[in-house]
Amino acid sequence: MTEHSVTELLHASPHLCPTPLDRLFYEGVTGLLANADVAAEYRLDDFGGLAVDVPRGAALTLTLLEGPQIVNAFAFNPHDPDERIWQQSVLREGVFLRRYSRVWGTMARYRPMLALIEDTVADDPGLASAQHHPYYGGSGTPSDWRRAGGVEEVPSTWEQFAALLAEREVPAHILRENLCLFQRSKIDAERMRIDILPSSAVVGDRVTLFAEIDLCVLLALSPYVDGGRPASTPGRPQPRAVRAVVTSYLVDPLPWPYPGVDYPDLSLYLDEHGRRSTTGEPTRGIQFQVRPE
């Protein structure tokens, strides 16, 4: 994002706080992918989900092996699971992920967690309003799937994520929205909805995400497959396989993205052991209640 585009954006939406993008840095990271060593490789071809550890400065590449398949993704900081991807990203980056879009995390740190540095999926020029990789807009809850006619024995995206979190003893309440990779959607302004369309992705298409911090990335194949299969379709949905590759360390990520602004005081968010509590309670030292004089 250039200084000129920042000025234009603020003029149109003065409540936004756009952070300049060092595009040359991310272009350089992309250039390192061709010679990157493979640190770990996985094949996901069922509705069991996959938890992948991606170290800071490494990248995760997802490649479609058998055709279009929606891959839902959720990421969190394994050292502090309360820091996870947050829908606030859409105010800075937009509803759809594009090359060099960043995915931001929760308060108090509120910093980039992932950056999309590679995307080979081609959008349909005949329907410019439809794009791939919405930040949210999936139908991943059990009620969505069952109410639409989905079979009981096929776990929804949320159930796959919850099971993966349980294996790591991370509470499922951290789940919120997720990234809908390879999903094709359009915004229906009249109905105020994000509609899911059949994906335009093909065999061999891939996306690569660069890790700005240590992350655990949860992956779940959508039972809607490519977005063109209604849940009520008779029979069990057949997911299409995806390869997940974690690279070795590529480069040190960029520093704290707010030059001249102090790093947040996290002591207000820590428990007596120096960890962020998962208990729902007011932040110590901050009084939100309105009191009469």
Residue 289's pLDDT band (cuts 50, 70, 90): very low
Weakest mean pLDDT among 125-134, 178-187, 218-227: 125-134
- Output the pLDDT for position 206: 98
pTM, entire model = 0.87
Domain definitions of the chain by residue range: 3-254
Weakest mean pLDDT among 65-69, 94-98, 251-255: 94-98
The whole-number average pLDDT for the span 237-248 is 98
Residue 2's pLDDT band (cuts 50, 70, 90): very low
Residue 254 has pLDDT above 80, yes or no: yes
- Output the pLDDT for position 202: 97
The whole-number average pLDDT for the span 174-194 is 88
- Output the pLDDT for position 193: 82
> In this predicted model, what pLDDT tens digit does every residue of 84-133 receive, in sequence order?
998 776 767 888 999 999 999 887 778 899 999 999 999 888 787 899 99
- Output the pLDDT for position 292: 45
DSSP for the chain, please give it.
Answer: --HHHHHHHHHH-TT--PPP--HHHHHHHHHHGGGPPEEEEEEE-STT-EEEEE-TT-EEEEEESSS---EEEEEEETTEEEEEB-TTHHHHH-SB--TT-EEEB-TTT--EEEEEEEE-PPP-TT-TTEEE-BSS----SHHHHHHTT--TTSPPHHHHHHHHHHHTT--GGG----EEET-EEEEETTTTEEEEE-----TT-EEEEEESS-EEEEEEE-TTTTTTS-TTSSS------EEEEEE----PPP--SSTTSPPP-GGGGB-TTSSB--S--PPTT---S----
Residue 18 has pLDDT above 80, yes or no: no
> Which tops the pLDDT comparison, 83 or 60?
60
The whole-number average pLDDT for the span 249-259 is 85
Taking the CA atoms of 86, 139, 244 and 24 in sequence, report the sign of the dihedral they define.
negative
- Output the pLDDT for position 73: 97
> Which tops the pLDDT comparison, 129 or 271?
129
Residue 263's pLDDT band (cuts 50, 70, 90): confident
Residue 291 has pLDDT above 50, yes or no: no
